[in-house]
Each structure stands twice: as C-alpha cells, then as structure tokens.
Structure 1
Amino acid sequence: MQVIPFFISRALAASIAIVGAFPIGINAAGHAQVAPVAAVAQGRAQAPGVHHYRVGDFQVTALSDGTVPQDLHALLINTSAAETDSLLKRSFLSNPVEASINAFLVDTGTRLVLVDTGSGSFFGPGNGGKLLGNLKSAGYSPEQIDDILLTHIHTDHSGGLVSAGQLVFPNATIHVGKPDLDLFLDPANSEGVDGYDKKYFEEAVKTVGAYVKAGKVESFTGPTQLFPGVIAIPTPGHTPGHSFYKFESKGQSIEFIGDIVHVASVQFPKPKIAIRYDVSPEKAVAQREKHFATAASERDLVAGAHLPFPGLGHIRAESDGGYVFVPIDYRDRAGR
C-alpha cells in the first residue's frame, strides 16, 4: 500500500475531525443539523522506551527499539499450533504476538557500554528503529558510547550499528563471539548455509562488516573478562557465537541473555520449544534448559532482548519442570 502524504492546518484538521465525528443532515426547517455519533479514540504512540535500574555502582538503562509482530505458528518448532495457542491463552495472549526489541546501556562510571543495538532501519518503517530516539531521551548520544557488546550477529541486534551506510557509533569498539564472525562474514557463506537464509549474511556484511573495515571489532572465543566487572560467556546454539554478558558491581550482578528465549509465555513453561531463527535448535534448547535452571537456582537478575520491555527480571522454577519469568518491581525515585 502506498501512503500519500498531505499537509493541513491545525484549524482545518480540527474542523475535519469534528465534521467526521458528527455527520451533517438537514432538518425540517432547512437548517444544517449535526447528528452526534460514537467517538473513536485516536491511537497514540507509546512514550519513550527508557527504564533505569541500578546494579551496585552500575546504572543500567533498558532502551526499547520498538516491537514487531511474530507469527508463532510459522516460527516455533518442537510444538504444535494447538499447544502454542494453549500456552499463549494462559498468558492472556493470542497469535500473532508482539515481540519487544530491547537494548541495554550500562554506565559503569568509567565507560558507557551498549548491549546490542536493535534493528535500525532493516525491518522497514514502523518496525523497530527507535533505539536512537530513546538513547537521546535517556540523555546520551551515539558518539558517547565506548563499547558495544553484541550477543550475536542477527540484524535485530546489530542493525542499529549503521545508518545509510555510515557508522552510527563512530567511537565504539564492537565485541562479539568469534564463531559468529567466522560464520556470518565468510564470503563463502554469502548465499546462505544449510537453508539458513542468505539475508542474514548480507546484513551482517552491511552492519558488523562496516566496523571490521574500520578496525573497530574485537572478538573472543571463550569466557573472557572484557574489562573490570564485565565478563563474556559463550552460549552457542542460537548462533555459533551467541554469548551472555555478565556485569558485576558491589556484590550485585546482571546477566544479559540475548536470544536464549524469544517468547516468554511459551518457552519458559516449555523450554524444549525452539524457533526457526536458531542456527542449531538442538543446541539452543540445551542452552536454554541449562541456563534457566542455573538462573532459577541462583536467583540471578537477567535481561532479555525479546522479553516484554524493559526485559529485566528473574526466572522461577515450577514444579512441573517449567519456568516463569518474574519482572522486576517498577521503581521511580531519586537514585534508583
């Protein structure tokens, strides 16, 4: 559908709105008569997606890049449409569901670290692309970012790295698992690998590839301390280089878990359910089962890229072998 823009004055817009809400007729005396009808509320955009949370001396800011609809009947595997719908109904949802795209900024006091960058413009107008606006609303500019930690090289995590072919974060160093660089930036894989669509590889070249050319990418292959209080933890499965990032300060910690889970209402109660975005669904399921159990037993604070914004909370084990995501309490007071 093509959208044709037009411009009208506020006064004219108001009059059109009024006339549109009250159809005009003619009464017996020949005078115009307005017949009121039920008003329709106008849709409004959400307020800026910014949420602050403290972990020790670190200031964590969840930043929304927007949401996108997901047809779970087409995307989920190791399940059926009926099972999916039943799980969604328990959470008062129905297919398709809206998936959050979350990024997280951590101010350690000495550096500004961004975990993932959203989708940028790669999903088209109205789908994602809100990160920079929310970053500005939080009081930061892209030029201030010192480091970017990519949980993996998928476009909804790396798309925000570039705009119109230019580096959005010109002063940042990108950190990412080496196996992802080896897979997504290998020219031999430009047409796709084992049915994994070539668009993933084309987009990786446009995003992460631009920073590689600029000499701004550092990779790791095992558990690695990137800088004080920040550890990279490889969790291969969703992609070969998929990684968690754990931040620790004053005895408190938060773990950024990337795409270990996509659909909270389905994959927490049934961790064996995978998604077609997984390079290796079997390994992705194994990682999910392992890390859900660990996070639940150790009462870890986690942050998920596709959990409902702000995506911060804890994982609780249930007696039936499943899990529940418990969002953090909302806080809005000085210093918190």
Structure 2
Amino acid sequence: MRIERLGANQSFPASTAENVVKDDKNALEIRPFEPLNFTKNLIEKELEIVRDHLKRLWHHTQEQIDVPPGNTSSVHLFSIRQDMQQIETDLVQRVTTYGAHFGVPNRRVPNELLTAEEKTSHFSEESLVLVLSGYIPSKAFQKLLSLREKLENSKKEMAEAESSENKEQVQRLKSGMEEIHKARKAMMLSFTGPLTKKRLQKIKTKAKCYRNCLLYFKKELGEFNAETHLRYLMISLQDLDKHFSLLTQLLEEQDKQKQEEITQDIHLKKRRVMVDKFHDNFKLVDNQLNTMYAKYQDTNPHVCAAITDVSDKIRQALTLIDAEKNSKNISINTVAKLEQILKSCLSGYENVKQQIGRPV
C-alpha cells in the first residue's frame, strides 16, 4: 500500500500501520505509529510556509553580516536558517516522491515486506533494524516483496523436506535460502541502514533541527497557528523522536549483550586455565601412583588396592577433562566436580602413603 495516497481523513488499516516499540525496555511488543494522513497538497502548503520564512531569514541574516562577532541574535538566525534549509530539502523530497515510493523515513518497514516473525520484532531475519531511513522506490519494493514470498515458500518446503527426512532437498533449500537472505539484506540495507551510534547521532541532529524550527514558527506564527498549519512537520518530529528512542534502547541492549559476552568469555578462559591445572595435577598424582604400584604390586596387595581406587577416580577425571576440552563451553559445575574429584584423589594418595609406612 502506498501510504502517500491516503486521503486527508483516512487512516492506515491495522495490518499495514508502521510501528514503534513501547517504553518498556523488556518488551518486544509493537504499537502503531500515529497515521500519516497527509495529501500532497497539504505538504506543499507547509513547504510554501517554510520557503516564505526561509526568504525572510535570508534577508535578516544578510542584513546582519556587518554585525559585530559574538552577537547571539545573529548567530541564532544563521542557525535557524540552516535548519530551515534542511527542512525545505526534506519537504521537497517528500513532495517529489509522493505516490511513487513506499514507506516513510523514521517509520517501520511496511508489513507487506516482512515475514511473520519480523512483524513482532525490531530486526529482520538478516539482523537489520526494521525502521526506514529513506523511501523505497516502487521497483525495489516489488523486488523485496518477491524475496519475502520466496523466503516464506522456502520455509514451507524446508519443513516438508525435514519431515520426510529428505537430506538432499534440505541441503538444497538451505543453500537457496542463504542466497535469498543475502539478496534481501543487500537491498533492504539501502533503506533501513545499520544500527550504529553514527546513525543515532544523525537522527538526533535532524530532530534538533526540526525542534528548533518548530519553536521558531510557534514564536513567529503563534503556537495555535503553528500547530494547525505545520502538522506534517510536527508529526515528522514525533517520528524522529520515536526512532531515536527505539535505536537508543536497541544500542543499549546491544552494548549490554556485548559486555555479557565479554564477561562470559573471561570466565570461560579462567575455567579453561583451571581445567588445565587440574589436568596437570591429576597426571602428577597418577604418575606417582603408577611408580608406587610397580614397587609394591608383588609385596603389598592392600597398598595396590588403595592405589587402584585412586587411579580409577583419576581416569574418570581425565575422561571428563578430555570431553570438556572439545566443547565450546566449560560449565562451572564441571569445574566444581573436578575440584571435588581432585580433593578425593589427594586424600586417597595420602592414605596410600600412610599404608606404605605401616608394617605389613
């Protein structure tokens, strides 16, 4: 659905409304954006207002070229003029793309392009943020729509192939889906952009630009007139603020996850070091027990029996260590179990030495 073609009194159907995250940072629940109910004519009227005031600002700033440096009024007008130029550019782009493009910057990717899983997530299956940074041309929209359909059809075929245990078809479908994901990511990235602090800063800067200009208009036109005649600009600012809030949340969660991964990696390295030390200690005790066994196997069966008990525990521990070395993770429970076995083996080793010291 081309959202630009909605009439002034129409709203989005629930199924195609763009969405934004709730304030609850623990929720993935999505709520709709406020509908963007603007005709081309209404946007052009706001563009006329912006251009009229931009001309005035040019006139005022030209008059103040000879004003001494440091004049705060002059600096403020130059700043507003620059912000107004940015808004003029945005409005011209909006009017130019009206009816020919899909989606709206700072709003969610249209639902028609999303898989069932993506409709309740902030990210695409290719890990892209599902908020637009630009308009989607008609040709690109149709291509993305086709890729989504191919992806969902492949998923259905994959489920059937796995159910029938057709390994050859499963492998073929996996390769095909990888290609679909690559093509989808490459195309969608052009309109969504990556999740980065640089993107967040750009949104913050643009929101500040809109906020400054709206404050200027409220002062020049009066608050009521500004809110009445510049509704598109006001809702655009709301979209920017929502986009900024969502990306801030997602970046915080991303940084938190990275920190947790770093912490887990540090703990894992410590556990690996501990397991290596356990291995060396077990081998040391085992070598000494083997020497004792060779010495007393013909003369002291009680000592040899005690040695065998300890050696069995050592073999159990070494088997566990070998299994853990081949795994990607070493649990804290494994470390605790090895520590317990080592204490038992050392106790058994001391018992063997005591038995050797007793007369037969």
If the TM-score is normalised by the length of the shorter chain, which range does it land in? under 0.3
- Greater strand share, 1 or 2? 1
TM-score normalized with structure 2 length: 0.18
Q: Larger radius of gyration, structure 1 or 2?
A: 2
TM-score normalized with structure 1 length: 0.19
- Greater helix share, 1 or 2? 2
